[in-house]
Amino acid sequence: MTIIPRVTLPSGAAMPVYGLGTWRMGESVRRRADEVAALRHGLDLGVTLIDTAEMYGDGEAETIVADAVEPRRDGLFIVGKVLPNNASRRGTITACERSLKRLKTDHIDLYLLHWRGAVPLAETLEAFAALVKAGKIGGWGVSNFDIDDMQDLAALTGGSDCATNQVLYNLTRRGIEFDLMPWCRQHKMPIMAYSPIEQGRLLGHAALREVAQRHQATPAQVALAWLLRQDDVVVIPKATALAHVAENLAALDLHLNGEDLATLDQAFPPPRKATPLAIL
């Protein structure tokens, strides 16, 4: 069983740096059994973090997570998300209670605002604080927030309690390295990287194949190891094939050297100016 390092959140709580994503799960009845099996396989291999959202499969991804984790909820770290149109004070609490019911659990370890919407952030934060007080969530964070959004959040009462910002981040989406990531590091806030292999589109790139060959690894492992080399980045790849679940997890054992990083920087240059936050 793989031992997965943890990152410390601003609250002092610890979150695994590697988890299982569920985006696009729950969209097909025919794939449901494979999706449940993939999550269970990841748990069997030692993964304890699962990322999901009420939006995924219109709630069905959460029921898949429930089926996969039963009866071993204890010791797991579940991340959920509320849609911005549900993010009023009352709406956030109601949405969380629906998610808890679908997940068949009494608490969500980390609850994120999926992206910024029309509801004032202060109202959502009031709901998050109430949910923490009630023990229904362990903490809260945000997703798809750019640096101006984070600055607005930090200026609010309770804004410093934000645990993480989950954003699109991979070798082809490095824009956050210019300003957003430094800001988060200054505030000791880890980044959760979704779509870490760009939904598979990275895997055919020559630079990844070159680095993979040096280490007898796979391009997916290289893409994940590139992110995991940073001790304040959490990755949540999604896989539905059992072999891919195991392959991705093995990225934790791949250590890239200076030559590897130079090859990847040449193929995927770091940003030289501020750019709008990338969102899928």
Active site positions, annotated: 56
Say if residues 172 and 198 touch (Cβ distance below 8 Å): yes
What 3-state DSSP class applies to 14?
Answer: strand
93: number of Cβ within 10 Å = 19
- What is the bridge-based pairing of β-strands 6-8 and 14-16? antiparallel
* Measured distance CA(83)–CA(17) in Å, rounded: 24
* CA gap 38, 17 in Å, rounded: 19
DSSP state of 70: T
Measured CA to CA, the distance from residue 154 to residue 143 in angstroms comes to: 14
**Element at 90 (helix H, strand E):** helix 89-103
Contacts of 224 (CB under 8 A, 6+ apart): 196, 197, 235, 237, 248, 251, 254
Measured at the alpha carbon of residue 175, what is the angle toward residues 171 and 193, in degrees to the nearest 5? 55
Strands (E) across 31-104 are located at 49-51, 77-82
Partners of residue 62 on adjacent β-strands? none
Separation CA 62–CA 93 (nearest Å): 17
* Cα–Cα nearest to 124, from 103, 95, 104: 95
